[in-house]
Amino acid sequence: MKEFICIESFSGAGGLGLGLQDAGFEIGAAFDLQPQAVLTYIKNLSDKCFVADATKLTGAILMERVGIQKGELDLFAGGPPCQGFSNQKRGAHLGDDRNHLVLEYVRLVREINPKFFLLENVSMLGKKRGKLFIKAIEKELVDYSLYPHFYNSADYGLAQTRERFIIVGKRRDITASFQIPPPTVAIWKTVGEVLADLPEPPIDSRQEHPEYANHYRANITDLNIERFSHVPQGGGWKDIPWDLRLKCHQNADTSKGGWPDVYGRLKWDGYAPTITGGFDSFTRGRYGHPHENRSITPREAARLQGFPDWFEFYGNRSEVRHQIGNAVPPFLAEVIGRNIIETLLEVKSNKLSNEKLTQLV
């Protein structure tokens, strides 16, 4: 058993769990509502992950699984969906029906009373809504100091400009300081650096590469392949000849923008945009391979998310791509986890020092 224990809620496939494990945390328990995501977690990380509905769980149940008492857990982590905060037009509040899972997360924090909590995957539309969200959480969790921050994944080793809004909460009786981790790289990694050594997937989209799990093509029509063949690196639908364009693009005014990422091709020496659950089609965004006339494969998307090649995703194609697209980049989770552990080590060191002074007196 490692020295520091975490419980992960809304775990998905385990991007956050992998990063926290690499940082030095032991996964005491983890849960998610999606069975295939749980299977992926179990196969790759820990058999302590289980299928559960957060609304049916209690802090007591989770603590019993880990074998700890209230107040003993080092970290409670997770990313409950928060659509109400993302789409609100008149401010954000925890009472919005779309934020019921955030309320469940907050309830579990109260019931477990961990030393730290980590709340991620909150989609914010501007700093103003971010402030409203933080105030709402502060009101609900008054025993914690909050450290909210927008993290650009490219600053932490990914070839992807994915931005995550993450709140770290430190229980107020933990007197050691916590620091928001600064960027770990000075120069952003490029798409080419990440994908360079991957061989092409089999031509038959039904087949997976024999040496690389989840490395297979999406089933794309010949017409879409022809359209995409005209798109240069960094280009999009505006580069497709008029007679080959979709009807909506034929009628569009190219001078007024629109969605330039549709039919977008990645740049080999550039960076990927946010990898979402729709990455297997360049009709949904800039997910076209830099050199090949196809969308990126799940394995390529997983690499852009920071997953190692040994990490295999389970489920049908839709489930796999959503597991990858919804994941927290492990590199980012690791660096935050390390800073939490540094704080916990300082607490332990101070406690030992105080005990020695007491003995001397």
Q: Between the CA of residue 338 and those of 75, 178, 305, what are the distances in Å?
A: 12, 10, 19
Report the distance separating Cα 55 and Cα 348, nearest Å.
34
* Six token digits for residue 200: 């092409």
Cα atoms in the 13 Å half-sphere on the side-chain side of 50: 12
> Who contacts 227 (Cβ-Cβ below 8 Å, separation ≥6)?
240, 244, 245, 263
Q: Which of 6, 49, 82, 248 is catalytic?
A: 82
- Rg (alpha carbons) of the chain, rounded to whole number: 22
Tell me 159's DSSP state: S
> Who contacts 140 (Cβ-Cβ below 8 Å, separation ≥6)?
94, 106
Contact present, 2 and 74 (Cβ < 8 Å): no
Contact present, 278 and 284 (Cβ < 8 Å): yes
Q: Is 82 a catalytic residue?
A: yes
Identity of residue 172: R
Cβ neighbours around 202 below 10 Å, total: 14
Q: Are β-strands 116-119 and 163-171 bridged in parallel, bridged antiparallel, or unpaired?
A: antiparallel
Report the distance separating Cα 22 and Cα 5, nearest Å.
13
> Who contacts 332 (Cβ-Cβ below 8 Å, separation ≥6)?
19, 151, 153, 156, 158, 164, 306
Report the distance separating Cα 286 and Cα 277, nearest Å.
13
Active-site residue set:
82
